[in-house]
C-alpha cells in the first residue's frame, strides 16, 4: 500500500496515521520526494483500507500488492513524463532521441556532434567522461574538466547532456553540468550510488545490468525513488546471454513488460544492445517500434578513430539515415 500524505500535514495527524498502521501491524517507510510525501507500507494481511483512507492528512491511498511499490503502475496508472528541464520531458509525449559519442574526447569532437544534433532536431547529447573499462589500461575518460567543456558547448547550442556517473563522490561535482545522470550497466545494482542519486533533484537514467533481470532493474529504480527522486528513466541496453554473434542480446521484450509493470519511461540503447555498427539502425528502429519512449545511440565523425566503442558507433551519414527512418517509424505508430 502507498499512502500519499498532504504536504502540510500536522505532526498530530501524522502520528495518528502511524498509530493506525502500527495497530494493524503494518510496517511503513516514509518517503519524501521533490513531488510528494508518501508512506510506503508492507502489509502482510488483509484489512479495510478505509480505516486509513478516512484519516485527516491522507491525500490518496492505493493498494500495491507487488514487490515494487513506488515505481509500480499499480500505484500510478498513467505514464510518467520525466521533466529534463527547459520544457522538455522524456515519456508520455513522443519519442526522445539521445545521441553522441561513447566518450567525450575533445572540444572539436563535441562541436562536430552538436552540429549534427542541431541539424536533425535532436536535443540531448550523450558522452561519457567517466568510462567503466574492462581493462584498467584502456582510456577512462576526460573527467570533470571534459564535462565542463561538454557543458559549455552544449549550453551554447541549446543541447542537454546525459553522462555516466560512476560513484557517489562524483554526483555533486557533476551536478551543475548534467541534465540526466546515467547509471551504467556495471553499476546497475550499486545500491549506495542509487541511494545518493535519490537525494538529488535531477533525472537519472538507469541501465539494466549486464546480467540483470527486469525485476532487478525495477528494484534499482525503487532505490532512487525511495530516497527522494521521482525522476527515473529505465534503459534496456542488452543483456549477456549464451549468444556470441552480437556483443549483447537486446531484449526488446523488456520494453512492453517494463511499461506494463511500471509508470516510468523506457529508453532503448541499440548501440550497446547489438554492438555491431552496421546493425545498429535496424535495432534502433525495432526499439522505436517496440514502443520505447526514447533511444540512445552512439555517433562519431570518424567511428573507426573513436576512443571507445567505435565498432558500434554510427558515422554522421548513418546517423542521418537513422533519423530519417526513425521519424518514419514514429509516424506510423499511433
Per CB under 6 A, residues contacting ligand PEP are: 102, 128, 132, 184-186, 207, 237, 272
Helix (H, G, I), strand (E, B) or coil at 266: strand
Please say which residue, 5 or 102, places its beta carbon nearer to ligand PEP. 102
Q: Distance (Å, rounded) from C-alpha 3 to C-alpha 50?
A: 12
CB of 208 to ligand PEP, least distance (A): 8
CB of 150 to ligand PEP, least distance (A): 14
All three cell numbers of 27: 510496517
Burial of 246 (0-12, 13-18, 19+ CB in 10 A): middle
All three cell numbers of 23: 495497530
Looking only at the bridges linking them, the beta strands covering 82-85 and 88-90 are antiparallel
Residues sharing a CB contact under 8 Å with residue 26, sequence separation 6 or more, in sequence order: 1, 41, 42, 43, 44, 47
CB of 103 to Mn ion, least distance (A): 7
270 binds, among ligand PEP, Mn ion, none (CB under 5 to 8 A by kind): none
185 binds, among Mn ion, ligand PEP, none (CB under 5 to 8 A by kind): ligand PEP
Please say which residue, 90 or 185, places its beta carbon nearer to ligand PEP. 185
**Is there a contact between 2 and 64 (Cβ–Cβ < 8 Å)?**
yes
Q: How far is CA 299 from CA 33, 99, 125, 212, in A?
A: 35, 6, 10, 26
CB of 164 to Mn ion, least distance (A): 9
Please say which residue, 37 or 272, places its beta carbon nearer to Mn ion. 272
Please say which residue, 3 or 224, places its beta carbon nearer to ligand PEP. 224
CB of 66 to Mn ion, least distance (A): 33
325 binds, among Mn ion, ligand PEP, none (CB under 5 to 8 A by kind): none
Q: Distance (Å, rounded) from C-alpha 53 to C-alpha 215?
A: 29
For residue 127, the 8-state DSSP code is: -
CB of 20 to ligand PEP, least distance (A): 44
**Is there a contact between 60 and 4 (Cβ–Cβ < 8 Å)?**
yes
Return the closest-CA partner of residue 161 out of 236, 84, 268.
Answer: 84
Q: Which residues bind Mn ion (CB under 5 A)?
A: 102, 309
CB of 298 to Mn ion, least distance (A): 6
Please say which residue, 2 or 185, places its beta carbon nearer to Mn ion. 185
Please say which residue, 40 or 194, places its beta carbon nearer to ligand PEP. 194
For Mn ion, the nearest residue by Cβ is 102
Q: Distance (Å, rounded) from C-alpha 280 to C-alpha 259?
A: 23
Please say which residue, 131 or 226, places its beta carbon nearer to Mn ion. 131
184 binds, among Mn ion, ligand PEP, none (CB under 5 to 8 A by kind): ligand PEP
For ligand PEP, the nearest residue by Cβ is 184
Amino acid at each position: 500500500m502507498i499512502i500519499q500524505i498532504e504536504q502540510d500535514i500536522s505532526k498530530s495527524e501524522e502520528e495518528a496515521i502511524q498509530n493506525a498502521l502500527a495497530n494493524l501491524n503494518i510496517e511503513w517507510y516514509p518517503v519524501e520526494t521533490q513531488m510528494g510525501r508518501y508512506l510506503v507500507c508492507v502489509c502482510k494481511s488483509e484489512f479495510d483500507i478505509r480505516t486509513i483512507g478516512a484519516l485527516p492528512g491522507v491525500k490518496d491511498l492505493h493498494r500495491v500488492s507487488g514487490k515494487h511499490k513506488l515505481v509500480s503502475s499499480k500505484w500510478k496508472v498513467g505514464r510518467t513524463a520525466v521533466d529534463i528541464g527547459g520544457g522538455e520531458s522524456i515519456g508520455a509525449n513522443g519519442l526522445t532521441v539521445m545521441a553522441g559519442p561513447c566518450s567525450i574526447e575533445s572540444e572539436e569532437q563535441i562541436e562536430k556532434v552538436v552540429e549534427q544534433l542541431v541539424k536533425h532536431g535532436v536535443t540531448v547529447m550523450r558522452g561519457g567522461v567517466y568510462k567503466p573499462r574492462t581493462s584498467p589500461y584502456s582510456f577512462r575518460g576526460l573527467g570533470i574538466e571534459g564535462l565542463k567543456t561538454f557543458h559549455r558547448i552544449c549550453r551554447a547550442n541549446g543541447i542537454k547532456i546525459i553522462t555516466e556517473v560512476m560513484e557517489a563522490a562524483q554526483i555533486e561535482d557533476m551536478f551543475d553540468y548534467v541534465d540526466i545522470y546515467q547509471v551504467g550497466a556495471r553499476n546497475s545494482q550499486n545500491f549506495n550510488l542509487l541511494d545518493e542519486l535519490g537525494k538529488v533533484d535531477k533525472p537519472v537514467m538507469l541501465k539494466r545490468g549486464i546480467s540483470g533481470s527486469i525485476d532487478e532493474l525495477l528494484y534499482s529504480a525503487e532505490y532512487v525513488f525511495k530516497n527522494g527522486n521521482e525522476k527515473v528513466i529505465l534503459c534496456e541496453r542488452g543483456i549477456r546471454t549464451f549468444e556470441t554473434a552480437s556483443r549483447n542480446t537486446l531484449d526488446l521484450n523488456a520494453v512492453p513488460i517494463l511499461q506494463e509493470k511500471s509508470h516510468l519511461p523506457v529508453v532503448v540503447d541499440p548501440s550497446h544492445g547489438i554492438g555491431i555498427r552496421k546493425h545498429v539502425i535496424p535495432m534502433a528502429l525495432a526499439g522505436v517500434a517496440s514502443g520505447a519512449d526514447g533511444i540512445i545511440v552512439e555517433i562519431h565523425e570518424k567511428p573507426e578513430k573513436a576512443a571507445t566503442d567505435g565498432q558500434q558507433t554510427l558515422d554522421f551519414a548513418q546517423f542521418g539515415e537513422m533519423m530519417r527512418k526513425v521519424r518514419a517509424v514514429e509516424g506510423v505508430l499511433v
